[in-house]
Structure 1
Amino acid sequence: MLIAHVSDTHLGYAQYGLEERENDFMSVFREAVEKALEEHVDVIVHSGDVFHSPRPRIKTLREFREVVRRLWEKGVPLVVVPGSHDMQRRRGVPPVMLFDDLGVRVLTTKNYKWEYNGVLFAGFQYLPRHRRQVILELLRKLGAIASGFSGKTVLMLHQGLRRLLPTSYELSIAELPGDFHYYAFGHVHKPFKTSCGRGVLAYPGSTENVDVTEISYDKGFYLVDLSGDQPELSRIKLEGVRPQLLYEVKPEELSSTVRRVIADVSKCGGLKPVVHFRVLGDVDRREFEKVSSRLRGLCLKVRVEVKPPLEEGGEGYEVVETLDLKTAIESYLRAVMGRDADRLASMAYDLFLILSSEGYSEREAIARAVKEVEGLYGVRSSED
């Protein structure tokens, strides 16, 4: 059997508030599916974070359905374990479960195995670290099923491993059952593979750059041939990923770097790149606007991340942009909540995206998102 192993597609993510970036995530997913079909795969497995939000826009669901219909018409099933972004914070149905009429198989704690053409696929949705004992018990159960199965076996999980995420893992490789031939993992956005159990464990990584820290990673997926004694993996690169360029400069070098940026942009091909500047030192906003103006029309987005001189050697940058809603929300929450802001900003911004997709104006969505987070943590805004 030939499998395409895809993960972390984050469909519907309007990165930096841009519709173009939302379209990028869907475009590379389509490319991955087309490349898989060209390779005549028997099954596509998706190891979670199909969508960026557990409540994707109708547009995103419709476009996903079109891609899944193409697979269904070709007779290629899609098997999914929901990831952390696919799951409602409270009880609810992951959106990927809406497509069972097109043959999409979703593995969960209630429906954790599926057999297809003599191959066993087993797994379940993302479970957070505080449910480690539940994860381990489920893995013992799946290991017992795999040990008694006569054919090839695939374990699908969306979890972090200690080897890759030492501060935020749920499992170690030693805790995985050893009776599977292929371990199809998701959650880590950098491609990775290693020997495990009776075969190979792999993360294909994300299909697009969800964060600036990923832009050096290869974007693609794995072809997995299970016909031999050991799985054979081939890497398939995605060509339609939008270029992103990163420059680390001093404040006085910002303007002089533009010429080099223009030369680099000219080599990017069809898609306008996203350009990131990391500046060690204070930047005058007028200087940033001047640089942004010179690059306007050549780039999709220009971002400047500033590390103030007093924090030299410390962690983190402050993003300075003409409009960066996530940074604005984070700055406000930091003012009223202190250190908790770093942890809660993503929650508020994700809620903002959901409310925006439901028809709220930008101002209403921001106000409601912030008020909801404040309410959860007992903080009231000055307007109340």
Structure 2
Amino acid sequence: MLFSHISDTHLGLVQYGSEEREHDVYHVFNQAIDISIKDHVDFVIFAGDIFHIPNPNGTAIIQMANALKRLKKNSIDSFFILGEHDISRIRATPISYVYHNLEFSRYIGQGNPINHKGVLIVGFDKIRKTEIPQFEEKFRAVDEIASKHAGHKILVLHQGITEFNKFAGELQSTDLPKNFTYYAMGHLHDHDIKQFSHLNGPVAYPGSIELTTSEGIKETKKGFFEVDISEKEVKNNWIELDTRQQFSFKTNYDELTKVVDEISSKICNIERKPIVEIKIQGENIETDQIQAQISRLYQQTLRCFWRIISKEISESSVFLERPNSIDYEMLRLAVDASGSEQIANFAIKELLPLLSSAQIKEATQIIIENFEKYKKEKVNDNGN
């Protein structure tokens, strides 16, 4: 039996306000669906962040619907949970529920185990860090069910695991139910897989299918997993998708002309115009001269960005030891600035994503919710 494990599709993301970038996401998403159909997978798991925002545009909604329809036509079932990007904070019904109600796909995010052709599948929607203690009992309950199931057991989560990325960690591997034979993860955008001695199967992140804004501009590969569970041992095959190439370069100001020539030579034969970033350091920098040199790349690139960095920043730990996502570095800096991990988590992980995608109502709602919670905590503290 073979299934696809796809995550963090972020359908509807319009990066840089670019229509081309929106279609890049749809392009790689449909590649993953086409490959799954071609390889005759038995089912597909979508491990959260299906959409980039809870109220996606019509094109994104139709892209997902058409993909699920194609899977159904080829007798391929699918299952999904919700990530933080799918869930509205103003208690609106998630768009993805429509696919469940129309029986295009099956929603499994409430932790209710299902048996699909002898495979036990359990999923949980995104769990906020503050909510994790109340899920301990639910994890124990599904672990007990998994221990009694003779076949393969798949747990689907949209969470950061500390052993994969300490900046994004919401759970430790020891917090996970131990009796599952495959942990289908979402949330982290770099693909990775680890086997822990205290778990019965691998913990796998396929990563996002395309570079998102929070990841910055870099040379990287994107894809998804096809997982073979025909035998007792799980076999993972990570499949690379054909994404638009992105490059980040660093140069001294006095070598800019030479570097631009080298970049032009490197990208001249790339069929789909790449995205390029150039970080420039030096003294007596003239921005007009930079602009003149960078403009030579405009016809060869979809977007070409440049910024000036100081030598100190270039050599600092922010660049030498930076985490996999800009978000995680922002979190670290926010903790340093506020002196509170709780405040930093709220600002970076909950409030900022809403504000950056113009979800003003949702942002206002969580501010009100957190203020009410703060007042209650103060009353309890005073009462004690």
- Is the shorter-chain TM-score for this pair beyond 0.5, marking a shared fold? yes
Q: Could you say which residue in structure 1 is the equivalent of 2:37?
A: 37
* 1:199 counterpart SS class: coil
One-letter amino acid of the structure 2 residue matched with residue 159 of structure 1: Q
Structure 1 gaps, min length 5 = 318-329, 355-367, 379-384
Cα distance in 2 for residues equivalent to 1:313 and 1:238: 33
Number of aligned residues:
343
Residue by residue, what CA displacement relative to the aligned partner does 1:242-297 show, whole Å, maximum 9, x if unpaired? Answer: 000110112222333111111111242x2100001122357544234323321122
Q: Could you say which residue in structure 2 is the equivalent of 1:365?
A: none
TM-score between both structures, scaled by the size of structure 1? 0.81
Task: Flag the 1:138–1:37 CA change in 2: closer, same or farther, 3 A.
Answer: same
| Contact map agreement 1:107 1:124 (CA 8 A) in 2 | yes
Q: Could you say which residue in structure 1 is the equivalent of 2:58?
A: 58
| Contact map agreement 2:249 2:278 (CA 8 A) in 1 | yes
Q: Could you say which residue in structure 2 is the equivalent of 1:202?
A: 204
One-letter amino acid of the structure 2 residue matched with residue 274 of structure 1: I
Cα distance in 2 for residues equivalent to 1:17 and 1:342: 24
Q: Could you say which residue in structure 1 is the equivalent of 2:252?
A: 250
Q: Could you say which residue in structure 1 is the equivalent of 2:237?
A: 234
Residue by residue, what CA displacement relative to the aligned partner does 1:25-50 show, whole Å, maximum 9, x if unpaired? Answer: 11100000101111110001111111
Cα distance in 2 for residues equivalent to 1:217 and 1:106: 31
Q: Could you say which residue in structure 2 is the equivalent of 1:89?
A: 89
| Contact map agreement 2:217 2:277 (CA 8 A) in 1 | no
Identity %: 28
When the two chains are superposed, the root-mean-square deviation of aligned CA atoms in Å is: 3.1
Q: Which has the higher helix share?
A: 2
Q: Could you say which residue in structure 1 is the equivalent of 2:9?
A: 9
* 2:300 counterpart SS class: coil
177-186 vs 213-222, greater mean Cα deviation:
213-222
| Contact map agreement 1:119 1:151 (CA 8 A) in 2 | yes
Q: Could you say which residue in structure 1 is the equivalent of 2:323?
A: none
Task: Flag the 1:182–1:311 CA change in 2: closer, same or farther, 3 A.
Answer: closer
One-letter amino acid of the structure 2 residue matched with residue 348 of structure 1: L
205-214 vs 72-81, greater mean Cα deviation:
205-214
* 2:299 counterpart SS class: coil
Q: Matches of residues 124-203 of structure 1 in structure 2 within 5 Å?
A: 124-196=124-196, 197-203=199-205
Q: Could you say which residue in structure 2 is the equivalent of 1:362?
A: none
* 1:163 counterpart SS class: coil
Residue by residue, what CA displacement relative to the aligned partner does 1:328-356 show, whole Å, maximum 9, x if unpaired? Answer: xx9xxx9xx999898455432211xx6xx
Cα distance in 1 for residues equivalent to 2:182 and 2:49: 20
Q: Could you say which residue in structure 1 is the equivalent of 2:379?
A: none
* Aligned: 1:275 with 2:260: no
* 1:242 counterpart SS class: coil
TM-score between both structures, scaled by the size of structure 2? 0.81
Cα distance in 2 for residues equivalent to 1:338 and 1:297: 43
Cα distance in 2 for residues equivalent to 1:37 and 1:311: 47
* 2:45 counterpart SS class: strand
* 1:261 counterpart SS class: helix
| Contact map agreement 2:217 2:247 (CA 8 A) in 1 | no
Q: Could you say which residue in structure 1 is the equivalent of 2:378?
A: none
Cα distance in 2 for residues equivalent to 1:156 and 1:215: 28
* CA displacement at 1:166 relative to structure 2: 1.1
Residue by residue, what CA displacement relative to the aligned partner does 1:169-215 show, whole Å, maximum 9, x if unpaired? Answer: 11111121111111101111111112242222210111111145473
14-23 vs 159-168, greater mean Cα deviation:
159-168
Q: Could you say which residue in structure 1 is the equivalent of 2:377?
A: none
Residue by residue, what CA displacement relative to the aligned partner does 1:217-250 show, whole Å, maximum 9, x if unpaired? Answer: 32111111111111011121112x0000110112
Task: Flag the 1:93–1:165 CA change in 2: closer, same or farther, 3 A.
Answer: farther
* Aligned: 1:223 with 2:226: yes
Cα distance in 2 for residues equivalent to 1:298 and 1:312: 27
* CA displacement at 1:313 relative to structure 2: 4.1
* 1:246 counterpart SS class: strand
| Contact map agreement 1:204 1:220 (CA 8 A) in 2 | yes
Residue by residue, what CA displacement relative to the aligned partner does 1:143-188 show, whole Å, maximum 9, x if unpaired? Answer: 1121122221100000000112213311111121111111101111
* Aligned: 1:349 with 2:356: yes
189-198 vs 64-73, greater mean Cα deviation:
189-198
| Contact map agreement 1:129 1:169 (CA 8 A) in 2 | no
